[in-house]
Structure 1
Amino acid sequence: MRNVMIVDDESLVRIGLQSIIDWESNGFRVAGVFKSGEEMLAAAAVSPVDVVLTDIRMPGMDGFQLIRELRKTHADIHVIVLSSYNDFEYTRQAIQLGVTDYISKYEMEPEELLRVLSSLPYEMRKSYDPAQPATPGHTEIGSINDSDKNAMAAKLRDHGSAFRWIVLIPYHRSEAYSPEERKAMRLLAEEMFQRLRNPILFGEEDGIFHGAYAFDPAGDDQRIREECERMAEEWTAAFSQKLNVSLAVGFGDEIGIDGDWTAARKRAEQAAEGSRFDGEVRLSDAALPRGTFSEEEWLAVYKLVKQRIRYMQFTPLAEELLAYQDEKLLSYKPSEWVRLGVAVASQLADFLIERYDLQTAELGRFFVSLWPLPEAAGAVRTSDEWRTLVRELTARTQMTVTSRQSRTGWLERVKEHLSQHFSEAIRLEDMAQLSNFSENHFSQRFRQETGQAFSDYLTDLRVREAVRLFRDTDLSTEEIAFRVGYSNPNYFIKVFKRKTGQTVKHFKSLK
């Protein structure tokens, strides 16, 4: 269950956001609702928070100031900006501050909010918190008090004056691990750590195991690294062979036993997350630093994806995305690859819905377990899963498009003909012949597919072109009427007023 805090100075918005969806049934808990950024920051200092929904314009501390302050102490929190301001400058600032998403609070539907929330990547707890209460029946690393920490430090000193924090993460899978499986993992971890004696197992939190490997910092650094890698290979092999569980292992930076345990833990968690995603990283300081997409990089990739989808070049899109990951895999954090996957999935879904007016049920038949597409992309946890998802999404999108075109290819031919010849005399029987339908069948099918009668569709097409010509040229009304297919200017004037609600004279006066 992830904790959500809501920040908005409008009471009606705060009330509405609390009731717009069933938070708990979707894996979230509203941990606080605040009317100012100052109140929210005070609460975040003493209570855990995973997601923040915030307005931009608020008295005192505005949304951007709040985000900047949060980034200083809660760098991994997901922030979703809810605002009534759609100015690009707000969007640009939000991107620069690493906002997860930016949506209008007045146009937002429950489905849209759920889509954004469900696309958030899974995050481990971020910091070592000795004051966090333990959960009955589990050894909770977060519940270590000063006495326990001193005892553990004493054990570590038996092996050296420095250590690396260790994190073991069982891979995510579609079906949750059963209590019996969780117990078997705990017992196996305990047995292996006891047998090795050094490292030392601290405990478990949320199914993730924590420990430490101590050593003399004046020793052979290469030997220590090789020892850590050997232990990682032994643990992953044991979990795989005995429990059929894939395991990611991460080691934090080398620090003194009296050093910053919170930082040590965080670095180990980051290394383990990297290992879980690409199977490569083990020691945090042996890996290249992973960053986030810059605004320029993100926009470049986003434009490439959009262009490929627009021209229905789905296979080249998949090839380019996979090649891009081959080149940049270790440059970006796993959460950034998940974010890119969600963006691609969202664009594909939007394309199919807007281009072919597909309904949810039909999309579900084409994509099966991958629908909703953004949700499936947000659930990716490894590089292999990401690559498989890209291939599946693009292949199924192509299959969907091919299926729709085989059913509506006649309609595309008709629309293409009308867009090129609307200024000419267009007869219903000619369009029926182009479609290989009878006139009655053509009229019925055209209305079913477009929601308009053929004559209304043609009139709308002509009037839209007339509007453009009035705005962009100084042509006379008679000339424009002729160019859009009306030989009688008086009749055109009547049609124009009926469709636009304005006379031609009034419309031209607005230029």
Structure 2
Amino acid sequence: MRNVMIVDDESLVRIGLQSIIAWEQHGFHITGVFKNGEEALAAASQQHFDVVLTDIRMPGMDGFELVRELKRLAPNLHVIVLSSYNDFEYTRQAIRLGVNDYISKFEMEPDELLRVLASLPFADQLEAGKVVGDGAAHMSDAPLLAEVKQLLDNSKSEESTSLAAKYPLLAKKLADNGDGFRWVSLLPCPREAGYSSTERKAMLLLAEEMFSRLRNPILFGESGGYLHGGYACELGSGALVSQEESLRMAEEWTSAFSQKLNVSLAVGFGSMFAWSGSCEEARREAEAAAELSLFNSSIQFSETSGERRAFTEEEWLNLYKQIKQRIRYMQFRPLADDLTLYMDERSDLHKPSEWIRLGVAAVSQLADFLIERYDPDTVELREKFGSLWPFAETAGAVRTAIAWRQMLQDITARIQQMVAHRQARGGWIERVKDYLKVHYSEQIRLEDMAQLANFSENHFSQRFNQETGQAFSDYLTDLRIQEAVRLFRDTELSTEEIAERVGYSSPNYFIKVFKKKTGQTVKHFKSTQR
């Protein structure tokens, strides 16, 4: 395994280089990541490296000076210069220093980096030992890392385990800074498409870097979608001071994730525990605080956020009745306003999962109403509601209070529009159809029907065709001929009498229309009815 050093003053580049390829699958282990030449040179004097990837322009000691110093320490060291500068002078200086390759860090592709690494002429050397770890790479003590991994694996259980009793190395490392500890959970905001393995690795690397710059916190690693860490605190120093310090750290973390990775980060802190306290309880508190942080879009501390509970049976029943009543009277937007106001008044009482459950229940009843009342097909539902449909899935995917409120407003507004359209459509079209059923034998003028519907003649003709799939004249003709067929079957009336009864003053014209619509002459049709 070849040891690799990365040196770049840009945090995002350092993270990208670590995550661009699966280093260890190709025989390389990233042993050190540094933001300037001074740090890299100090590390190289204490540890063996086989490959260094370094930027050129860095504050203080630049890349060329670093390469010269590194070559004095390790003449066989392989150097790859990474730079955004495409200047021949830089290339010439790099060649003079014995650099193995020179590539643009912003145009570099994984295959290109692997090609360069594979071309390096390594002499037979003893492989550098691999540091075992699950994301806390800044801690090089293998037994300590094993404890951290065990802590993450076991702390989801319901058993109560003392940090000091079961994880003595970790407790000792933290205890140097205080007589207690606080668990912290970082939760990247979930998104519909999820995060790729590369994105998750980049988040872990960024968290490692942020934690390594601070004196106290230790990053435990990733587990259950969270990034977990912990830090020592003085139990007797007062919670206020501790929270102020923690808040500053959390703000730095959320800002870094937003700026460098475009990821919204929720941060939750558990209570301050003595070393004899329960690791499991500390983790549960921190995760609950992170969930609340995500829902409320604010950094949360377990001891000040208050205990959140589920709705009681009585509360749930009252809410159910309220939702039912609003839907019964088709008061959709007032329903959204009711639930939003209810959250505003009681947001500090109930768990985020309870608000999500309430949202799912409300929109499920709305979906039931639409299906029972209007029997829409899937095409219409998708056309009217787009990605909001199915409602229950949309509501169940909500993770923030802002999104919860917006979801209710969007769904109820769309339903209000759909129902209004249906009512408007059903109102005038039914009036016209009802009139025709009674007056089909009379002279029917288009302008009279347009006036009945409160439309202009042209608009009436267009809307009637859209709603029925027929021109108005065709619809009226079908209605009259259907009645004529019934009269031929059920009565002994003559053709002239039936023609007059269904609105045709000319029997000859009626006969022509009858044949066109039924495909039979009147004479033949009457003969089949005997």
The TM-score with structure 2 as length reference comes to: 0.52
Q: Supply the AA of the counterpart residue of 1:429.
A: V
* Deviation (angstroms), 1:220: 3.4
> CA distance change for structure 1 residues 444 and 179 in 2, over 3 Å: closer, same or farther?
farther
Equivalent residue runs for 1:178-197 within 5 Å? 178-197=196-215
* Deviation (angstroms), 1:246: 0.5
Q: Tell me if structure 2 keeps the 8 A contact 1:271–1:282.
A: yes
Aligned pairs, how many?
300
Equivalent residue runs for 1:463-502 within 5 Å? none
Offset from partner CA, 1:177-197 (integer Å, 9 cap, x none): 122211110011001111113
Q: Tell me if structure 2 keeps the 8 A contact 1:164–1:255.
A: yes
Q: Does 2:152 align with 1:142?
A: yes
Q: Does 2:307 align with 1:298?
A: no
Q: Supply the AA of the counterpart residue of 1:377.
A: A
Q: Tell me if structure 1 keeps the 8 A contact 2:250–2:267.
A: yes
- Specify the SS of the correspondent of 2:232: strand
> CA distance change for structure 1 residues 283 and 208 in 2, over 3 Å: closer, same or farther?
same
Aligned to 2:526: none
Tell me, in whole angstroms, the C-alpha distance in 2 between the residues paired with 1:240 and 1:279.
13
Offset from partner CA, 1:301-336 (integer Å, 9 cap, x none): 221111111111122122222222111112110001
Q: Tell me if structure 2 keeps the 8 A contact 1:253–1:267.
A: yes
- Specify the SS of the correspondent of 1:319: helix
> CA distance change for structure 1 residues 400 and 218 in 2, over 3 Å: closer, same or farther?
same
> CA distance change for structure 1 residues 286 and 378 in 2, over 3 Å: closer, same or farther?
same
Tell me, in whole angstroms, the C-alpha distance in 1 between the residues paired with 2:190 and 2:478.
50
Equivalent residue runs for 1:51-200 within 5 Å? 142-143=152-153, 149-200=167-218
Q: Does 2:251 align with 1:233?
A: yes
> CA distance change for structure 1 residues 267 and 330 in 2, over 3 Å: closer, same or farther?
same
Aligned to 1:462: none
Aligned to 1:28: none
> CA distance change for structure 1 residues 395 and 326 in 2, over 3 Å: closer, same or farther?
same
> CA distance change for structure 1 residues 386 and 412 in 2, over 3 Å: closer, same or farther?
farther
> CA distance change for structure 1 residues 410 and 354 in 2, over 3 Å: closer, same or farther?
farther
> CA distance change for structure 1 residues 362 and 198 in 2, over 3 Å: closer, same or farther?
same
Tell me, in whole angstroms, the C-alpha distance in 1 between the residues paired with 2:378 and 2:420.
18
Tell me, in whole angstroms, the C-alpha distance in 1 between the residues paired with 2:436 and 2:229.
79
* Deviation (angstroms), 1:439: 11
Q: Tell me if structure 1 keeps the 8 A contact 2:310–2:351.
A: yes
Aligned to 1:249: 267
Alignment partner of 1:344 out of 351, 355, 362? 362
- Specify the SS of the correspondent of 1:381: coil
Tell me, in whole angstroms, the C-alpha distance in 1 between the residues paired with 2:478 and 2:368.
27
Aligned to 1:205: 223
Alignment partner of 2:384 out of 366, 390, 401? 366
Tell me, in whole angstroms, the C-alpha distance in 2 between the residues paired with 1:166 and 1:207.
14
> CA distance change for structure 1 residues 349 and 430 in 2, over 3 Å: closer, same or farther?
farther
- Specify the SS of the correspondent of 2:186: strand
* Deviation (angstroms), 1:227: 0.9
Offset from partner CA, 1:158-195 (integer Å, 9 cap, x none): 11121111100000112211222111100110011111
Tell me, in whole angstroms, the C-alpha distance in 2 between the residues paired with 1:171 and 1:151.
32
Tell me, in whole angstroms, the C-alpha distance in 2 between the residues paired with 1:313 and 1:414.
28
Q: Does 2:232 align with 1:222?
A: no
Q: Does 2:350 align with 1:332?
A: yes
* Deviation (angstroms), 1:141: 5.6
Tell me, in whole angstroms, the C-alpha distance in 2 between the residues paired with 1:189 and 1:275.
18
Offset from partner CA, 1:142-165 (integer Å, 9 cap, x none): 336999833211211111121111
Tell me, in whole angstroms, the C-alpha distance in 2 between the residues paired with 1:246 and 1:140.
28
Q: Supply the AA of the counterpart residue of 1:372.
A: P
> CA distance change for structure 1 residues 443 and 402 in 2, over 3 Å: closer, same or farther?
farther
Q: Does 2:283 align with 1:265?
A: yes
Aligned to 2:10: none
Alignment partner of 1:388 out of 406, 420, 423? 406
* Deviation (angstroms), 1:222: 1.6
Q: Tell me if structure 2 keeps the 8 A contact 1:250–1:269.
A: yes
Runs of 4+ in 1 over 3 A off after TM superposition: 138-142, 144-148, 410-415, 430-445
Q: Supply the AA of the counterpart residue of 1:369.
A: S
Tell me, in whole angstroms, the C-alpha distance in 1 between the residues paired with 2:388 and 2:300.
31
Tell me, in whole angstroms, the C-alpha distance in 2 between the residues paired with 1:328 and 1:443.
62
Which piece of structure 1 moves more, 141-150 or 350-359?
A: 141-150
Q: Tell me if structure 2 keeps the 8 A contact 1:199–1:211.
A: yes
* Deviation (angstroms), 1:430: 5.8
> CA distance change for structure 1 residues 355 and 412 in 2, over 3 Å: closer, same or farther?
farther
* Deviation (angstroms), 1:442: 7.8
Q: Supply the AA of the counterpart residue of 1:318.
A: A
Aligned to 1:474: none
Tell me, in whole angstroms, the C-alpha distance in 1 between the residues paired with 2:431 and 2:207.
64
- Specify the SS of the correspondent of 1:254: strand
Aligned to 2:335: 317
Q: Which has the larger radius of gyration?
A: 2
Tell me, in whole angstroms, the C-alpha distance in 2 between the residues paired with 1:176 and 1:365.
26
Tell me, in whole angstroms, the C-alpha distance in 1 between the residues paired with 2:381 and 2:269.
43
> CA distance change for structure 1 residues 296 and 414 in 2, over 3 Å: closer, same or farther?
farther
Offset from partner CA, 1:44-99 (integer Å, 9 cap, x none): xxxxxxxxxxxxxxxxxxxxxxxxxxxxxxxxxxxxxxxxxxxxxxxxxxxxxxxx
Q: Supply the AA of the counterpart residue of 1:142.
A: L
Tell me, in whole angstroms, the C-alpha distance in 2 between the residues paired with 1:232 and 1:185.
15
- Specify the SS of the correspondent of 1:293: coil
Tell me, in whole angstroms, the C-alpha distance in 1 between the residues paired with 2:477 and 2:409.
39
Q: Supply the AA of the counterpart residue of 2:264.
A: S
> CA distance change for structure 1 residues 297 and 443 in 2, over 3 Å: closer, same or farther?
farther
Offset from partner CA, 1:109-146 (integer Å, 9 cap, x none): xxxxxxxxxxxxxxxxxxxxxxxxxxxxx978633699
Q: Percent of aligned positions with the same letter in both sequences?
A: 52
Which piece of structure 1 moves more, 324-333 or 381-390?
A: 324-333
- Specify the SS of the correspondent of 1:337: helix
Offset from partner CA, 1:364-405 (integer Å, 9 cap, x none): 111111111100000000011101101100111112112222
* Deviation (angstroms), 1:427: 9.9
Instruction: Structure 2: give runs of 5+ residues left out of the alignment.
Output: 1-147, 156-162, 454-459, 465-471, 480-485, 487-530
Aligned to 2:427: 409
Alignment partner of 2:294 out of 259, 276, 299? 276
Q: Does 2:322 align with 1:308?
A: no
Instruction: Structure 1: give runs of 5+ residues left out of the alignment.
Output: 1-137, 418-425, 446-454, 456-511
Q: Supply the AA of the counterpart residue of 2:295.
A: F
Tell me, in whole angstroms, the C-alpha distance in 1 between the residues paired with 2:182 and 2:253.
16
Tell me, in whole angstroms, the C-alpha distance in 1 between the residues paired with 2:477 and 2:250.
68
* Deviation (angstroms), 1:258: 2.0
Tell me, in whole angstroms, the C-alpha distance in 2 between the residues paired with 1:238 and 1:228.
15
Which piece of structure 1 moves more, 341-350 or 204-213?
A: 204-213
